[in-house]
Amino acid sequence: MTQDGRLARGNESRRRILERAMATASQDGLEALSIGRLATDLGVSKSGVFAHFGSKEELQAAVIRAAGAVFAREVIAPGLNLPPGLPRLLGLCDGWLDYSQRRVFPGGCFFYAAGAEFDARPGRIRDLLADARRDWLRLCAQTVTDARHLGELTEAADPVQVAFELDALACAANSTALLLDEPLAYERARAGIRDRLRALATRPDSVP
């Protein structure tokens, strides 16, 4: 077998492990991940899984990075393809809700679940999750700032505060839909996001 062939097989093996690990962690938590469990689930040897990650913490860190790439593909990239300002802000919010509602991860938003698991547990894994959340909130706040500069939102729209409120509505929808089996939670969040932005818009009718 050529070096390229071995590399391709190794990359495919790592991809399969991470896909399974992300799905498992979104439902059962990052602490539920283990090299032995993944080996059993995938029908491979423990040594094969261990060779890719080496430790449980490295596995958890790799899963967080992989989940971040999925979130970027499913939510951030489509949002950034929209015009800056209100269209982009609504696109990012709707993209987040759609990503949760479609169960891209079976446990809803991966970062909501993992964040709740590690929010009071200092260490490397918590830091990685916190960085991902900060990046999302900064993006939302910057998009609010752009909308203000474009004259779409009033000066009363504090970017950090608005980003916090919109994110809170999205997280509430994710939690309510999962815990209470309430599919209308997503529509309520969409309505709440639009009501909040209309209240801050220079032209309320510009918020669909």
Give, in order, the Cα–Cα distances in Å from 58 to each of 35, 61, 195.
Answer: 11, 5, 42
User: Superfamily assignment of 56-206 in CATH?
Assistant: Tetracycline Repressor, domain 2 (1.10.357.10)
- Report pLDDT for 3: 64
Q: List pLDDT tens digits, range 152-207.
A: 999 999 999 999 999 999 999 999 999 999 989 999 999 999 999 999 999 999 99
Per-residue pLDDT of 61-112, as tens digits, reads 999 999 999 999 999 999 999 999 999 999 999 999 999 999 999 999 999 9
pTM of the model: 0.92
Rg (CA), the chain: 19
**Residues making up the chain, counted from first to last:** 208
Q: Which of 4-8, 14-18, 62-66 has the highest mean pLDDT?
A: 62-66
Q: Crossing angle for the helix pair 46-53 and 56-71, nearest 10 degrees?
A: 70
